[in-house]
Amino acid sequence: MQVAGEGISDEKILVLDFGSQYAQLIARRVREQNVYCEIVRHDLPADVIRKKKPCGIILSGGPSSVYEAGAPKCDPDLFRLGIPVLGICYGMQLACESLGGQVEHCESREYGRAALRISEPAGLMAGLPHEMDVWMSHGDQVSSVSEDFQPLAATASCPYAAVRHLRLPVFGLQFHPEVTHTPLGGTILHNFLYAVCGCEGRWHLTDFAEQTILRLREQVGDQRVVCGLSGGVDSAVTAALLYKAIGPQLSCILVDNGLLRKDEQAAVLAEFTNHFKADLHVVRAEDRFLQQLAGITEPQEKRRRIGYLFIECFKEEAAKIEDARYLAQGTLYPDVIESGAAVDGPAATIKLHHNVGGLPEQLGFDLVEPLRDLFKDEVRKLGEELGLPEQLVWRHPFPGPGLAVRCLGEVTKDKLDVLREADHIVVSEIKAAGLYRQTSQVFAVLLPVQSVGVMGDARTYENAVAIRSVNTDDFMTADWSHLPYELLARISNRIINEVRGVNRVCYDISSKPPATIEWE
């Protein structure tokens, strides 16, 4: 699968995907170091790999065991192409096993932080301290290597945490250099790209924009593309790319489902009309959505109904657009991986949700997803490159099902209005405190709970609101934000005083995993 424009750079890295949740993260870490990167199937024949002329190959991790029947394997000839290979976790086990080593099941799975002691601080491990934190996540490990291998680093329970082959340009890491929990992992990848593979770092995100625009033009030809606009950065960047690529052949549809945040629809329209001149259709469908949601409390059923009705509304509007052939979606990589719809590889499903699937088949459209390989922060950088306004590029993400997944239990207009007011206070106070850019996603949740309070001399029995604020790089893992107490106090006071029907405010201090960012 292609990560960015094919042929854009003469130096490229191939990531062979063995079903790791982290394959795209590896690709993104390579892109961050200005080297073009493609993710390909794990079983690509060595001669096909050679023809692609990569300057390096990375073998990803994966959930299998190398000795398992049907475990994904690579073509063993690739180790003899003379192209540098870096195996990570499962990829390392595969490389070592192919070149005469042995892999064994560990007594206890090693998962989490480990202290790495480096014995050879040169080459791949150059510039690193003698001891550093690394992130482990494995059930098997290399137990012996052939005499051609040299250990470079070890942990207390893993004697071959980093190795290199003495005659072939083959390296292995048992830990994950691509995750943020390996703080110096970037140095190791940098060493691999620049010192081992000899890259010069000529690839930039602007290349991605230009190449994507060319590719979109090629894919779409003179056909018309319909793009759903939500007000979020993903759909705006998708629309901006398409607008640059095909201008008047683009039609945008905004479905107002009544589940948007306070004043959001007006803001989207203002931003949209100021920055694009594309054909825009607004579908006002609040009543239809509320009707569909009446009496429904089960979260998946709420999502299903919203998704279904969204498709109906979209379909009806799209039918009015003559010659529409393609549908553009702002799907990002975390949406793809969490839906288990990832690449051609065997990545395991985590959770079925988000915007992937359903819509295009129902509409009979072909799909255009120019951001499918990117992470949120890359999309933001791309938005800036494309000249989108700051308040749009940096807007916190908002889920497709909108406030419905933050209004727990049954969704009604009254409850949504309460939630909208509380949410508006949370976001405005975060902005006023100068913390909007430092937090990743901040919002209010209306809980299906009433509790007793006292206002003046009277007993109250009213709603509780939770505040959710998280910090994350990629939305796949997240920590709760350690907001100042005074700010929390101000938010709480304002909500209780200004929002009728709320007498209690709580702060959500759960990280993801095991919690998710949204409550439903």
Pairing mode, strands 102-118 and 131-144: antiparallel
Is the four-CA dihedral 383, 386, 389, 390 of positive or negative sign? positive
Residue 98 or 355: which CB sits closer to ligand XMP? 355
Shortest distance in whole angstroms from residue 280 CB to ligand XMP: 20
CA angle 308/313/316 to nearest 5° reads 120
- Tell me how far apart the alpha carbons of residues 159 and 171 are, in angstroms, rounded to a whole number: 15
Q: Of these residues, 165, 176, 190, 424, which one is catalytic?
A: 176
Cβ closest to ligand XMP, residue 186 vs residue 397: 397
Total of chain residues touching ligand XMP, rule CB under 6 A = 13
Which position among 136, 199, 313, 517 is part of the footprint of ligand XMP (CB under 6 A)? 517
What percent of the chain is helix, strand and coil (3-state, nearest 5)?
Answer: 35, 25, 40
Least distance CB 81 / ligand XMP (angstroms)? 39
Helix 233-246 and helix 205-220, axial crossing angle in degrees, nearest 10: 60
Tell me if 443 sits within 8 A of 395, measured CB to CB.
no
Q: Is 400 in the site for ligand XMP (CB under 6 A)?
A: yes
- Cβ-proximal residues to 14 (8 Å cutoff; 6+ apart), any chain: 37, 38, 39, 40, 44, 49, 52, 54, 56, 57, 58
Nearer to ligand XMP by Cβ, of 270 and 352: the residue is 352
Residue (193 or 226) nearer to ligand XMP, CB: 226
Return the range that interacts with ligand XMP (CB under 6 A); candidates 129-137, 203-211, 497-505, 510-518.
510-518
Q: Are strands 170-173 and 85-88 parallel, antiparallel or unpaired?
A: parallel
Within 90-149, the residues that bind ligand XMP by CB under 6 A are: none
> Would you count residue 510 as binding ligand XMP (CB under 6 A)?
no
What whole-number distance in Å separates Cα of residue 252 and Cα of residue 318? Answer: 9
Q: Where are the alpha helices (DSSP H) in 145-275?
A: 185-190, 205-220, 233-246, 264-275
Q: Name residue 9's amino acid.
A: S
Structure-token match 């056909």, residue found: 223
Instruction: Kindly state whether residue 314 participates in binding ligand XMP, applying the rule CB under 6 A.
Output: no
Tokens, residue 165: 């082959």
Candidates 16-24, 115-123, 243-251, 397-405; binding stretch for ligand XMP (CB under 6 A): 397-405
Tell me if 207 contacts ligand XMP by CB under 6 A: no
Subset of residues 488 to 507 that bind ligand XMP, contact rule: CB under 6 A: none
Q: Is the Cβ of residue 143 or residue 510 nearer to ligand XMP in the bound state?
A: 510
C-beta closer to ligand XMP: residue 103 or 517: 517
Instruction: Sort 266 into a burial class: Cβ within 10 Å, 0-12 / 13-18 / 19+.
Output: exposed
Is 304 a binding residue for ligand XMP by CB under 6 A? The answer is: no
User: Would residue 176 show up in a list of annotated catalytic residues for this protein?
Assistant: yes
Selected range binding ligand XMP among 135-143, 157-165, 173-181, 392-400, rule: CB under 6 A:
392-400
Q: How far is CA 43 from CA 46, 71, 172, 497, in A?
A: 9, 11, 19, 62
Q: Residues 416-445 vs ligand XMP: string with x where CB under 6 A? A: -------------------------x----
Of 31, 451, 406, 402, whose CA–CA distance to 201 is shortest? 31
Site membership for ligand XMP, residue 516 (CB under 6 A): yes
Regarding 512 and contact with ligand XMP (CB under 6 A), the answer is yes
Residue 477 engages ligand XMP in binding (rule: CB under 6 A): no
Which residues in the 346-365 window bind ligand XMP by CB under 6 A? 353-355
Q: Three-state SS string across 362-380, please?
A: HHCCEEECCCCCCCHHHHH
State in angstroms the smallest separation of the CB of 350 from ligand XMP: 9
Positive or negative, the CA dihedral 449, 450, 453, 455 is: positive
Q: Rule CB under 6 A: choose which of 475, 494, 495, 499 binds ligand XMP.
A: 475
Nearest-approach distance from CB 162 to ligand XMP, in angstroms? 33
Choose between 84 and 330: whose C-beta lies nearer to ligand XMP. 330
Q: How many angstroms separate the Cα of 107 from the Cα of each of 40, 90, 104, 139, 393?
A: 33, 17, 9, 8, 48
- Quick check: 399 binds ligand XMP (CB under 6 A)? yes
Chain position carrying tokens 């909500």: 495
Is 190 annotated as catalytic?
Answer: no
Nearer to ligand XMP by C-beta: 33 or 516? Answer: 516
Closest approach of Cβ 366 to ligand XMP, in Å? 21
State the helix-helix crossing angle for 413-432 and 485-498, rounded to 10 degrees.
150
Q: Any catalytic annotation for residue 96?
A: no
Q: Which of 389, 397, 409, 453 binds ligand XMP (CB under 6 A)?
A: 397
Contacts with 241 (C-beta within 8 Å, 6 or more apart), sequence order: 209, 212, 213, 216, 370, 382, 386
Closer of 91 and 370 to ligand XMP (Cβ): 370
**Phi/psi at 166 (5° precision):** -80, -25
Beta bridge partners of 136: 112
Of 178, 264, 271, 338, which residue is the catalytic one? 178
Position among 62, 231, 360, 401 found at the interface with ligand XMP (CB under 6 A): 401
Q: Considering beta carbons, is residue 175 or 398 the nearer one to ligand XMP?
A: 398
Q: Which of 74, 89, 199, 313 is catalytic?
A: 89
Binding site for ligand XMP (CB under 6 A): 353-355, 397, 399-401, 441, 475, 512, 516-518
The catalytic residues are 89, 176, 178
